[in-house]
Each structure stands twice: as C-alpha cells, then as structure tokens.
Amino acid sequence: MFAPVAWLAVVLWLLRAFLGQMDVPTSQSYTMAVVGAEERTVMASATTVSRSTGAAVGPTVATALWSTTSASVPFIAGALVKITYDLTLWSLFRRVKPPEEAMLERRIR
C-alpha cells in the first residue's frame, strides 16, 4: 500500500492531479510549431481525440484492473502509461527544432 493513511492518499492524489496535465500546454504548443499552418487543425484534432479516447477508456480499464487485481495496479499502470508516453514523445522529437528556434540558431552561427 502506497499511502497507509487517508490524508497522505489525498495529498498524493492532489499532487497527481496538479502534475498530471502539466505537459499538455507544452506539447500542444510544440506540436503547433512543428507542423505547417495548413495541418494545424488536423493535428490539434488528432491529439485532442487521442487524449480524450484515453480519458474515456481509462476508467473502464482501471475498474477491470481494480476488480481483478490489487487496488494499486490501476495507479501503477496509469503511471507507466504516462511515463511511456512522455519518454516516447521526448525520444521522437528531441532533435526536431521548431522553425523559430532553428531560425534563431542559423542567425547565431
């Protein structure tokens, strides 16, 4: 059990809520910067639909995990999915510069 007392569970849950969506504005801004102007609407829709689908399916999966395993398994699974998502984004795009950043680097050189 991760939080043996209720107040600690509440603190951890609130911390997760505060930090859980912290990457959304950054990833949305970055995504809009690296795609062309004509593709921005499609890209914004695709990212929003994928995020919404995960949010819609998540409770069903969590309930199934909770009822068939330990109560901590849905939380661990959710954390692993989030960490995998963040690391995948980082590894795929760490060398892709937004146009304004690439232009700034060219001016400096």
Banded pLDDT at 1 (limits 50, 70, 90): low
pTM: 0.66
Note the pLDDT tens digit of each residue in 4-26: 899 998 998 898 888 878 888 88
Overall number of domains in the chain: 1
In a domain, 61, yes or no: yes
Is residue 80 included in any domain, yes or no?
Answer: yes
pLDDT for 13 equals 84
Going from the C-alpha of 59 to that of each of 7, 64, 83, the distances in angstroms are 23, 9, 18
In a domain, 91, yes or no: yes
> 76 lies in which domain range?
6-108
Cβ contact 59:43 at 8 Å:
no
1 in any annotated domain: no
List, for residues 38-93, the tens digit of each pLDDT value.
999 999 999 889 888 988 998 999 999 999 998 889 988 988 988 898 898 889 88
